[in-house]
Structure formats: structure tokens, C-alpha cells
A and B are shown apart, each in its own frame.
Chain A
């Protein structure tokens, strides 16, 4: 594999040490287009050098937030800080951020090397020196141009696109265009990389490869990455932290493991995990008991009767059980999907239109026939309870939400 990167100019010098404290701070940013509220008071601190993924369904305002950070769109209220400095009054080019667009947004009339050189030429050559013909004759122009050329060549080499420098974007494949777009962002050595679904136009195989390469790029550069995607696999595999956006609000920002294991919101739980988390309507019944799908589960503490709640169970939180018992759900097996090491059992349970999906070790395959009755035990420490409005019920509410252990 070619080297993604070059070694000089990377580290920010000792005089920039304080930059390490803060990457990007988003403080109460709101934005509406006409009457549509797209962003509602988003606040988020992103550490320097962090790889943060913005995850959310289509149309939830991820790209809009990215454009606001870049200064391409003006927020209605709130502030953006980059490296501890407010940048709201700064033009995009002064914010020390670079962006890779979903559509790549390469200039079709310029060659790859001209595309990559443009940000450097704009930054380092005065308007006169950029003029065709005359510009090259002005003092200094030639040496700066040569310098830019070598830098572009070096970046291109690091990205493995040095043989494409003379081509126009129209003559490149999707993956090559994607690299050029990354290269154009890289040559500027920005403090923050903004990437808006950079892999969504690639085929599955290339996407996996580029995922690794972008992660490696982040490791080598050590600068802040804000990466937009609605692909949960990308988010889970690449990020230090995932910020889940729903309906213009930040639903949760946490590490991939935390987002998966303890989602703050029912919709976050639904967004992450494939197959999707099983959600079952549940009704508290008297002393710490919960009626779910015709079975009874025991809770660690009391929930008010009459408050309907939703029980969320990940497929791997269900275990095969020989017979019904406490914390066991019973249903009829619809069908089984084999995955090699594991299998997904789709089980119809009373009171739910969608089948419950359980991920079971493949040894159980012989025990499972279509239409037979199966019992599934819920791993108590992994079951999640959500209130009617979708919030996760947690200890801070005074309502302990774990299932009681079978023994006690």
C-alpha cells in the first residue's frame, strides 16, 4: 500500500501548542431555512485531533452544520470556535478548515494538479502574480510556483495519484476523484478536516478500503476530523466519538461503544446496530414486574403502573432457553438466517407485528425448526428501557432500569 502521507509540516510547531486544547467548539448553533427549523441549538465540543462522526438520517441537517462550521452558511444564532478562537466573523478561507464534499466538487476545467494547486496559489501568490503570462514574469512568482508544484506532487504521491496529475476530473474513476478531493483539502494543512459523506459514491469494496485509508490519514495528520455519514458501519469503525443528530438536535455524543451499549434515546438505539434493536411495548405491573409480549420480566426497581414504556433488546442480548421462566420471552420461530458463525432467529411474539430477532450461536441450528415454539432469555444487564417520549430511563431519574437478576 502506498504511503498516505509525508512527514514534514505535519506537526504543528511548539508555538501552536495551545491549539491542542480545543479543536472545534459548537455553541448553541441554530439555523432555519424559511419556516423550517433545521438546527435547534446544537452544542458540541470536539477535541483537537479527535475523529468525530456526525451520524443521522438523511435531511437531519448534517451537511448544514458542516457548512456552518466552514463558514459557507451563516447560522441564525450561536457561535463556532476553531482552536479556541471565535470564527463567526471570518470568511471560509480564513477559518483554517478544509472540506471534502460528497460530490467531490472538483473543478472540471482544471487538471488534477491545477485543482490541487489552486488553494495554494490563492494563498501564496498575489493577484498580480496569478495573472497568466505576465504573472510568471513578476519577481518571486516563479519560485513560489515551483514550490507549490513540488508540494502538490508530494501530496499526490502520498495519495497514490501522482500518475494522474495531468488529467481532468472527467477522466478519473470515482475513487480517484475522491483521492483528488482529499488531496486538495490536504495541501492546505488545515487544523480541521470536514468530510461530507466522502465515501457514499463509491462501491462497497472501495468504500472499505478508503475507510481504512482515511482513518490512517487521520492518525498520521493528527488533526481534527469532522466526518459526516449516515452509514453506521463507517461511524462505528472510524470514530473516536459519534455525535448522533436527530431532527436538528444533538441526541447523543459518545464513543461508539457507549452509543451502542447505552443509547440515550430510543431513536439513537434504532439508528445504530444491524439488525436493528428489538423494541417491544411493555407495561409495568405492580411490584417491579414488567409485562412484555405475553411474558413477565422482573425489574430492579418499581416503575409507575400505567406508564407504558418500551423495552429495547439487541439481538445478541437474547439467549436460547430450554423452557419458559423469569425474564424469558416465548414466541414462534418464523425463519432462521445463517451467517456462518452466528445465526439470526426471527421469532414472532404476541403483541408485536415485527418479529423479534435473536443472534444465536450456530450450534443451535439443529434445535430450530420453523413454526416451533422457542424461549429466549433476556440478558438482564443489556436490556434497555425507554419512556413513552423516547428517553432512556436511567438511574438519574430515580428509576433503576435494569432487569432484576434471575436469582434474586
Chain B
């Protein structure tokens, strides 16, 4: 009796989760499905998930050859990695100072960070564009990277996490001879691994998928990140050729999905490692 109730409740829960999960995943599934089909089947009235004639090789070959997709992906990796690395290099010491060092004006500066958190990036696009123009970095990697190096979100997130680390640990580190910067790199960041990973996921996903800013500052294919590359590919090369387009989109999303699953394992491990103590 009790057991069957439990099974009932469990199946209802799973049914709801499955339904919402499907809703979210359906567009992705469709994208993958379309990328496997020949043009003739794309608009057929009967909906089938799997193609009657497999066209995957042709679609993916076209996606990889018609447009410099590998180049776009490499650009994406370079840009995202550089942004993340610089963000952590800038944000961690700033967060440490805001969380653990007493100095005049600390609250004001933290207030400014909070305001920065509230301003959408699009609002700053015009001044940033002009700044990039003055610096002469338009249409370079630098234009894609530099505006994002200081991340109010990263500072805020790490600061909140650093606040929870006891002062005694920092005192012990100072007595052990660590400089303030080595306290950040050797003690604070490793102890905040869950926060660092969460921030990394948000940052990488955001910038890998960003279309708005690259569209403004980059026009040569050599610097285009994947999302922008796909868009130009769609316009110029593919036209209505949706098969290769979907194949390209699948290829662009794949690394993110893989990275996310890889990081998720660490993420959960990091969270539980803290709570076992």
C-alpha cells in the first residue's frame, strides 16, 4: 500500500519532469533531427524524428567545408578562454579585497559593483564601441575580449563566497608567509571551487553564445566566434539549405554540452566536499 503510493508519487513526479524536460529539449532534438535529413524530407508533412534516407555525412561535410566552421569554433575557444582567464585574474583579487581587507571606501566600491551588476551589457554597447574604436582594436580578438574582462557578476559571486571563509584561515596563511596575492590564488580560490566553476559555466556559455557584441565589432571571418559565424553562414552560403545549417548549429552547441557535463561532475563533487567537513 505504502509502497504503491510511493511508486505513484514517483511516477507523477517523473512524468512532470519528463514533460517539461521534453519541452525544453524539443528544439534541440529537432535541430539534431534536421541535421540528419536530406532537403526533401525537411518539410514533409509527416513528422519523423529519424530520417528515411540518412543524409548526415553530406550535411555535416557541407557545414564543415562550406563555411570555415572549425575556424569559428577555434575563435570561440580562444575568446572564451581568454575572457574567463582574465575575468578570474581580475575578479578574484578584487573580491578578496572587498570581502576581507578593511579600507576606506570599501562599501562605496562594493556599491558600484552592485550597480554594475544591474546594467545590461547592451546599454554600454555604444560607449564601449567608441572606446574600442579609439583604442584601434575593432575587428580583432581584443575587441571581443577586453570589454568583458571586468565582470561585476564575478566579483560579486566570489566576494560572497570569500566572505564565508573564516578570518582565521587568512591569518594562518599570513603567518605561514603567504603574500596577499598568494592567499588569493593558493587559499581563497581553491576553497571557493564551487563558486569558480559556477561562474566559469555562466561566463563560457554566455560568451560562446553571444551574438550581439561580435556582430558590432567584428566583420572579418578570421575573428568570428561560432554564433556569428553561423549567422553569416546562414545568410551568405546556405540560403534555405537548412540541413547543413542545423548540422553547423549542432556542432557549435556540442562542445558546450560536453563541457557542461564534464564540469557538472566537478561541480557536485565540489559542493559535497565542502559539506562533509
A-side residues, CB < 8 A to B, are 67, 70-72, 91-93, 97-99, 101-103, 105-109, 118-119, 122-123, 169-170, 184
Contact = CB atoms under 8 A, between A and B. Distances in A.
A106 B166 CA distance: 11
Contacts of A101: 168, 171-172
Given A92-B174, A123-B177, A170 B277 contact: yes
Interface in B151-176: 166, 168-169, 171-176
Contacts, number: 59
A122 B273 CA distance: 26
B258 interface: no
A72 B176 contact: no
Main secondary structure of the interface of A (DSSP, over half): mixed
Contacts of A92: 171, 174-175
Contact of A93 (B169, B175, B276): B175
A108 B277 contact: yes
Interface of B: 166, 168-169, 171-178, 182, 187, 190-191, 193, 273-274, 276-277
Nearest to B193: A109
Contacts of B191: 107-109
A231 to B, nearest CB: 20
A70 B173 CA distance: 12
A407 B139 CA distance: 107
B175 A102 contact: no
Contact of B168 (A98, A105, A109): A105
A102 B177 contact: no
B172 A122 contact: no
A108 B165 CA distance: 11
Contacts of A107: 169, 172-173, 187, 191
Contacts of A67: 171
Contact of A122 (B168, B169, B178, B274): B178
B101 to A, nearest CB: 13
A91 B174 CA distance: 8
Nearest 6 interchain pairs by C-beta: A122-B177, A105-B168, A93-B177, A119-B176, A105-B172, A170-B277
A169 B273 CA distance: 11
A72 B176 CA distance: 12
A119 B166 contact: no
Main secondary structure of the interface of B (DSSP, over half): helix
A236 B176 CA distance: 31
Nearest to A93: B177
30 contacts: A67-B171, A70-B175, A71-B174, A91-B174, A92-B175, A93-B174, A93-B175, A93-B176, A97-B175, A98-B175, A99-B171, A101-B168, A103-B168, A105-B172, A106-B172, A107-B169, A107-B191, A108-B274, A108-B277, A109-B193, A118-B176, A118-B178, A119-B176, A122-B176, A122-B177, A122-B178, A122-B182, A170-B273, A170-B277, A184-B172
Contact of B174 (A72, A109, A123, A169): A72
Contacts of A99: 171-172, 175
Given A108-B277, A170-B276, A72 B171 contact: yes
Contact of B166 (A93, A98, A103, A122): A103
B171 A119 contact: no
Most buried by A among B172, B174, B177: B172
A69 to B, nearest CB: 11
A251 B277 CA distance: 40
B169 A105 contact: yes
B191 to A, nearest CB: 6
Contacts of A169: 277
A99 B173 CA distance: 11
Contacts of A119: 175-177
B176 A102 contact: no
Nearest to A117: B176
Nearest to B174: A92
A64 to B, nearest CB: 12
Contacts of A118: 176, 178
A201 B174 CA distance: 23
B277 to A, nearest CB: 4
Contacts of A102: 168
A91 B178 CA distance: 11
A129 to B, nearest CB: 13
Contacts of A91: 174
A109 B190 contact: yes
